[in-house]
């Protein structure tokens, strides 16, 4: 091996490593905050099940004075939220490499790994929401734009809200939370749109003609705000790919308590790598998610005109 092979492209010119790490770009995650985690319980491993208890409805009948009231037995039923997904990460950090970077290197890589686990959760929740929408609540496929023959983004949101109205979806009761461990204390109506759909709302004069600079700035954030038909609007790159083609995306609307999530980062540990000078960092995340109120979710598949 020559000197230039070991130290750089030219002999005598050493490679200098900048002490700061080039940090990963991260897409905003929103779906995790649009689920209920009241059924989480004690989750320890994949294969655990959370039983969500339901019962038959109560029948209302006319009453005649002096006539005995017929009673009925309420039959307990339920659905299972299965913890069926397990994701892990593992990366080695060699002692010699640690000489090239600052001590925050391990913390940054651990942060990246944790984010990737959260991103996997977010994608799974979006997929479960789409799969769980009641057939009658799927509005179909639309080409969205500003042309005369194009579907109108604002009107599609109003139609989604109407679908929720017709399903007796609660209108209020909680506030959105975008904290990493957030989520609603009470339920609220939401809609998650892809970035180009949010763009269509910006150019819609009904939303922008009276907007201040501060109002329009919110369209650049993941939480846009209550902008149409009482829906809390969120923007996400995690909207599922539509069934029509790769350019299509699913807009998902619903009630924040219509989808359940349960999960736990069960293991996070550091081990000394055998037969080498390095530390091995490992993590394991298990979770499950399910749409438990199909009639309180709605969707429409959209593509840019």
Q: Render pLDDT for 123-144 as a digit per residue (tens, 0 to 9).
A: 999 999 999 999 999 999 999 9
| Cα Rg of the chain (Å, integer) | 25
Note the pTM of the prediction, 2 decimals: 0.79
Helix (H, G, I), strand (E, B) or coil at 132: helix
pLDDT for the residue 12? 53
Q: Is 276 exposed, middle or buried (0-12, 13-18, 19+ CB in 10 A)?
A: exposed
pLDDT for the residue 5? 43
- In sequence order, what are the residues at sequence separation of 6 or more whose Cβ sits closer than 8 angstroms to the Cβ of residue 81? 39, 49, 50, 51, 52, 260, 262, 288, 289, 290, 292
pLDDT for the residue 213? 47
**Cβ–Cβ under 8 Å, residues 226 and 232:** yes
**Cβ–Cβ under 8 Å, residues 242 and 130:** no
pLDDT for the residue 71? 85
pLDDT for the residue 268? 81
Distance CA 125, CA 48 (A): 18
Strand positions, DSSP E, 10-84: 49-55, 76-82
pLDDT for the residue 20? 55
Sheet bearing 85-94, strands edge to edge = 85-94, 278-291, 259-272
**Tokens encoding 109:** 């890589």
Find tokens 């479960």 and name the residue: 128
**Cβ–Cβ under 8 Å, residues 174 and 185:** yes
**Tokens encoding 122:** 């977010």
**Cβ–Cβ under 8 Å, residues 194 and 259:** no
CB atoms near residue 48 (< 10 Å): 17
pLDDT for the residue 91? 86
pLDDT for the residue 274? 86
Helix (H, G, I), strand (E, B) or coil at 78: strand
- In sequence order, what are the residues at sequence separation of 6 or more whose Cβ sits closer than 8 angstroms to the Cβ of residue 164? 189, 253, 254, 255, 296, 298
Identify the CA nearest to 39 among candidates 263, 272, 279: 263
By residue count, the chain amounts to 305
Q: Render pLDDT for 217-241 as a digit per residue (tens, 0 to 9).
A: 454 455 565 556 788 888 899 999 9
pLDDT for the residue 222? 54
Helix (H, G, I), strand (E, B) or coil at 80: strand
Sheet bearing 223-228, strands edge to edge = 138-144, 297-304, 249-255, 189-193, 231-235, 223-228
pLDDT for the residue 96? 77
CATH class assigned to 20-48+82-305: alpha beta
Low-confidence residues of the chain: pLDDT under 50: 1-9, 174, 177-184, 209-210, 212-214, 216-217, 219-220
End-to-end Cα separation, the chain, in angstroms: 58
Distance CA 175, CA 68 (A): 46
- Strand-pair category, 76-82 with 49-55: antiparallel
pLDDT for the residue 183? 44
- In sequence order, what are the residues at sequence separation of 6 or more whose Cβ sits closer than 8 angstroms to the Cβ of residue 65? none
């Amino acid at each position: 091996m020559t000197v230039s092979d070991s130290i750089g492209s030219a002999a005598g010119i050493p490679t200098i490593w900048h002490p700061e790490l080039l940090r990963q770009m991260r897409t905003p995650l929103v779906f995790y905050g649009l689920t209920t985690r009241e059924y989480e319980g004690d989750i320890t491993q994949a294969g655990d099940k959370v039983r969500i208890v339901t019962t038959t409805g109560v029948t209302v009948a006319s009453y005649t004075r002096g006539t005995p009231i017929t009673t009925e037995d309420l039959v307990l039923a339920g659905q299972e939220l299965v913890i069926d997904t397990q994701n892990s990460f593992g990366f080695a950090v060699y002692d010699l490499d640690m000489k090239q970077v600052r001590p925050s290197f391990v913390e940054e890589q651990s942060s990246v790994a944790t984010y990737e686990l959260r991103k996997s959760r977010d994608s799974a929740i979006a997929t479960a929401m789409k799969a769980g929408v009641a057939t009658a609540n799927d509005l179909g496929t639309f080409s969205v734009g500003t042309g005369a023959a194009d579907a109108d983004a604002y009107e599609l949101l109003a139609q989604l809200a109407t679908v929720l109205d017709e399903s007796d979806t609660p209108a209020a009761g909680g506030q959105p939370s975008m904290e990493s461990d957030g989520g609603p204390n009470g339920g609220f109506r939401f809609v998650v749109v892809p970035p180009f759909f949010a763009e269509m709302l910006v150019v819609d004069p009904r939303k922008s003609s009276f907007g201040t600079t501060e109002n329009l700035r919110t369209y650049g954030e993941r939480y846009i705000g209550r902008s149409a038909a009482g829906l809390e609007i969120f923007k996400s790159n995690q909207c599922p790919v539509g069934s029509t083609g790769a350019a299509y995306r699913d807009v998902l609307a619903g009630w924040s308590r219509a989808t359940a999530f349960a999960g736990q980062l069960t293991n996070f540990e550091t081990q000394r790598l055998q037969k080498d000078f390095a530390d091995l960092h490992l993590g394991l995340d298990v979770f499950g998610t399910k749409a438990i109120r199909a009639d309180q979710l709605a969707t429409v598949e959209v593509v840019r005109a």
